[in-house]
Structure 1
Amino acid sequence: MSARPLPSSDPAAQGVDAAGVHAFLDALEAAPDIEPHSLMILRHGRLVASGWWGPYTAERPHLLYSLSKSFTATAAAIAAGEGLLRFDDPVISYFPEFEADITDPRSRAMLVRHVASMASGHEAETLPRALATDRADMVRGFLLIPPERDPGTVFAYNQPTTYSLAAIVQRVTGQPLTRYLRPRLLDPLGIGKAAWLRDRAGRELGFSGLHAATDAVARLGQLYLQDGVWEGERLLPEGWVAEATRPHIGNGDGTAEGALSDWQQGYGFQFWNSRHGYRGDGAYGQFCLVLPEHDAVIATTAATERMQELLNLVWRHLLPAFGPEPLPQRQDADRALRERMAGLTLAPSPGKPAPPERARDWSGAGFTPYGGVCAAQPKLTGAAVASGDGGWTLRLTEDGHHLDVPVGQAGWAVTDEPLPIAVSGGWADADTLAVDIQFLETPHRLSVTCSLPEGTFSAKWHTTPLHNPPLRAMRAPRHSA
């Protein structure tokens, strides 16, 4: 099913000053450690600005990382509304096969609402310990780790809590999250393709791994802004939005610095409270910002470790752009903003075509990892350069699998097979090939440099993938709806 376009409007008609959006874009593009991929702004239910920095495009799914958690909570809400689960039930009650194994009283007292609010009683992340305890079933591994405190008394950002919530939903519905959500949320919202990573148990992860377009993020935010009602139909149980987005557990440290952190304003049911409104939040700048006081939603995808800085730029530039009333006609300003948003692009890496005088040396040249191992991808064991009728190709070998990428072309060379990637760069000089590979369904960019005299190559991630995937898996899964 293809997504229905969101209703759109000129910014001025919705009280949005185009100059503020320009100021945000200026600041975003000037920030050296923020690589923006997309931006959508909705005001009063109308899309007033949207753009994708090429080679990213509107229709491509993008790995949302922990913003996936907000979709998981939404699935749990719908299941609760259908009477399939209750937030005041013990977690262990949904896994009777573990009843004899789970003896710690705090683990047994843990309720669904505790795992939904990151308040399991554990004082720190348990993911590595849960996996080490039971690789085959993370729920069992998690429940076998005794909480240090009573459930509901302490916040700890903790992946297995969300995984357990997702596992409960998948158990009581008998379906993967994406299949369950398709007729109940995704189709009614007009969301197109969505795909979720699965673990070895076959469960969709819940805490991360959802790939969806920015449009899906914006629509989820607008649904929450509208109290769970879409086009006159209630999709979420009445009262859910208020319950999910209020702070269930404090997470501030009481310092002046903490008061300025958007990660210390309290936590709801898989939503963060922010200094302004609330948000779904994924690593490296995947945001669904819901601003009830401004009747606005802002959706972003990006690649940055400076997530607080990205939010600061939103608060500094976009919030003042939201006025209380429609602005006088500003057709020229609104048109200029539309044109800018339509022409956004990431600067390709510089590079020259293959040096003709060294073409014979480069064609067929092979390279081994600099220093004997590739720090970025330890299983990346070799690189080779070849020329043919279609131009030059860099072949990367990882764990016996090959990834061929086109090199030496001007701008971004985009291809969808075997992976959706865009490549830029080329020869820095006669002895050095340096290219950037953008994995277009993720936030991630890999820089590869080959030295002809040394016969070695190096690779470096600009932001490191969190799930340690092989290169061939740097795309949306193909199994989901």
Structure 2
Amino acid sequence: MSSLPTSTPAAQGVDAVGIQAFLDALEAEPDLEPHSVMLLRHGQVVASGWWAPYAPDRPQLLYSLSKSFTSTAAGFAVAEGLIRLDDPVISYFPEFEADITDPRSRAMLVRHVASMASGHAEETFDRARAEDRDELVRGFLLIPPDRDPGTVFAYNQPATYTLAAIVQRVTGQKLTEYLRPRLFDPLGIGEAAWIADRKGRELGFSGLHATTDAIARLGLLYLRGGVWEGERLLPESWVAEATRAQITQEAPPVAGWSDWQQGYGFQFWMARHGYRGDGAYGQFCVVLPEQDAVLAITSETVDMQRVLDLAWEHLLPAFADGPLPGREAADAALADRLARLALPPGDGKHAPAERAEEWNAAAFTPEGGLCADQPTLTEIEVDPGGRLTVVDDGDRLELGFGTGEGGWTVADEPLPVAVSGGWTDAETLVVDLAFLETPHHLLVTCSLQDRTFTARWRTQPLHAGPLRRVRAPRSV
């Protein structure tokens, strides 16, 4: 995989002081944990950094930013004549023809599911799954739209799932297989993996794991109108349609969430500045045509609007019309900081010597008999020398952690996880487990007094299951 071209901020007309202010602001937010950032201007990477223990080569769960990759797959299929935007959705699923009788469902077009304009007034995922747990497309089409398709916006996971299912049906390939020669390889995107459902169909609406670099490359392809290194990959017409408002929200603006009230394209959000793909807990691909820039971010936060607010506040004023001479010191200071980014590890001390024998191989069960946040987690064993054994869904996951020396202990197996923490007192062990291919942390507290533990997700994973799945899918 070739690296993207790099430059100094000043050479591309970006004030490094503004980038530093953006980093300061991200790190100062109490409910925001940044994991990575890449900023491109004029096709050059002017700033990139990963907060250790996160790293450049690790794929990240993109959540709904996956939708923009699904849109791109649909764009290729349209260009190849495999899909027509004005075809009825039901025409791609003739086996459901007799079941789908509602006229609005039958009138739903491909462009409607591509733009979250199916006619439903709200999210339908739970209802669709209740209608048909094994075939979400059928379950979705069985729910009569509230309005005529194309007249109302509702952010709706089964709409994107249906678009992805159409692509996979007409191509005979999974999304990752179809995108590999058309998008991933031409753009130099390496490892990418997508969560699939029980039918083996990749979800489309979520579940893609890819690197921050892959996010930046997708944004650059759209910024360049579908052209990569002089070769047209996507039709210019698809890029233009995908990144303009196909449908607008009727509801009054939600206080504090103005960037979600600007309209929706083909699996891209319009924004106060440019447009973007985004995913739960702070995964962003922000494209700024006016500034000729792309911003890629991975993070953990429930306040995604705050991330964009900080970008508008600090980065937009940093863009100049031309190179900025005499900024060598500021550029060097930024580069030094980006190379040293790190998340603070959990607090904790060495195992208390006077209680070491009690802690040695001590076993802990869930407080109250069930771990509410992670019901598959049934037991934890502790080795005061710095090892935690987590029993989850029958798996014994042995994890090392620092013993009061600070820092993160990083492992790829049995899971890509970084562990930090230690003893807060003689009776209590507190450990932070950062699942490195996702935004999520699991905070574990073991109490020696009653031999119980609590485990709490800082942000709840949206794809439920045992801990072995809190990672990118692996080929079997």
Counterpart residue identity of residue 105, structure 2: S
User: Matched residues in 1 for 2:396 and 2:308: separation?
Assistant: 39
User: Matched residues in 2 for 1:59 and 1:205: separation?
Assistant: 23
- The question of whether the paired residues in 2 share the 8 Å contact of 1:408 and 1:425 is answered with yes
- Structure 1 residue aligned with 2:124: 126
- Structure 2 residue aligned with 1:420: 416
Trace 1:267-416 onto structure 2 (pairs within 5 A): 267-386=264-383, 391-409=385-403, 410=405, 411-416=407-412
Matched, 1:432 2:412: no
Trace 1:201-280 onto structure 2 (pairs within 5 A): 201-255=199-253, 257=255, 261-280=258-277
Question: Given the two structures, how large is their TM-score scaled by the length of structure 2?
Answer: 0.98
User: Matched residues in 1 for 2:396 and 2:94: separation?
Assistant: 44
* 1:61 shift after superposition: 0.2
Three-state SS of the structure 1 residue aligned to 2:236 is coil
User: Matched residues in 2 for 1:153 and 1:348: separation?
Assistant: 49
Matched, 1:60 2:54: no
Three-state SS of the structure 2 residue aligned to 1:242 is helix
Matched residue pairs, number? Answer: 474
User: Matched residues in 2 for 1:104 and 1:397: separation?
Assistant: 48
* 1:399 shift after superposition: 2.2
Any idea what the Cα deviations from partners look like across 1:185-204, whole Å, max 9, x if unmatched? 10000100000000001000
Counterpart residue identity of residue 448, structure 1: V
Three-state SS of the structure 1 residue aligned to 2:386 is strand
Three-state SS of the structure 2 residue aligned to 1:239 is helix
* 1:149 shift after superposition: 0.8
User: Matched residues in 2 for 1:153 and 1:31: separation?
Assistant: 38
User: Matched residues in 1 for 2:466 and 2:252: separation?
Assistant: 41
Trace 1:35-74 onto structure 2 (pairs within 5 A): 35-74=33-72
- The question of whether the paired residues in 1 share the 8 Å contact of 2:264 and 2:270 is answered with yes
- Once the two structures are overlaid, the 10-residue window that deviates more, 407-416 or 223-232, is 407-416
User: Matched residues in 2 for 1:257 and 1:195: separation?
Assistant: 36
Three-state SS of the structure 2 residue aligned to 1:334 is helix
Residue segments in structure 2 that go unaligned for 5+ positions in a row: none
Counterpart residue identity of residue 474, structure 1: V
Counterpart residue identity of residue 309, structure 1: R
Choose from 96, 100, 103 the match for 2:101.
103
Counterpart residue identity of residue 333, structure 2: A
Any idea what the Cα deviations from partners look like across 1:410-436, whole Å, max 9, x if unmatched? 310000001000000011111110000
Q: CA RMSD in A?
A: 1.2
Q: Residues 407 and 286 (structure 1 numbering): CA distance in 2 closer, same or farther, change over 3 Å?
A: same
* 1:55 shift after superposition: 0.1
- Structure 2 residue aligned with 1:167: 165
- Once the two structures are overlaid, the 10-residue window that deviates more, 227-236 or 361-370, is 361-370
- The question of whether the paired residues in 1 share the 8 Å contact of 2:153 and 2:250 is answered with no
User: Matched residues in 2 for 1:382 and 1:197: separation?
Assistant: 27
- Structure 2 residue aligned with 1:475: 471
- The question of whether the paired residues in 1 share the 8 Å contact of 2:8 and 2:331 is answered with yes
Counterpart residue identity of residue 461, structure 2: P
* 1:467 shift after superposition: 1.0
- The question of whether the paired residues in 2 share the 8 Å contact of 1:252 and 1:265 is answered with no
- The question of whether the paired residues in 2 share the 8 Å contact of 1:351 and 1:408 is answered with no
User: Matched residues in 2 for 1:193 and 1:408: separation?
Assistant: 30
- The question of whether the paired residues in 2 share the 8 Å contact of 1:221 and 1:289 is answered with yes
Q: Residues 257 and 366 (structure 1 numbering): CA distance in 2 closer, same or farther, change over 3 Å?
A: closer
User: Matched residues in 1 for 2:229 and 2:469: separation?
Assistant: 37
Three-state SS of the structure 2 residue aligned to 1:262 is helix
Matched, 1:158 2:152: no
User: Matched residues in 2 for 1:479 and 1:223: separation?
Assistant: 28
* 1:408 shift after superposition: 3.7
* 1:256 shift after superposition: 8.5
Residue segments in structure 1 that go unaligned for 5+ positions in a row: none
- The question of whether the paired residues in 2 share the 8 Å contact of 1:248 and 1:269 is answered with yes
Counterpart residue identity of residue 443, structure 1: P
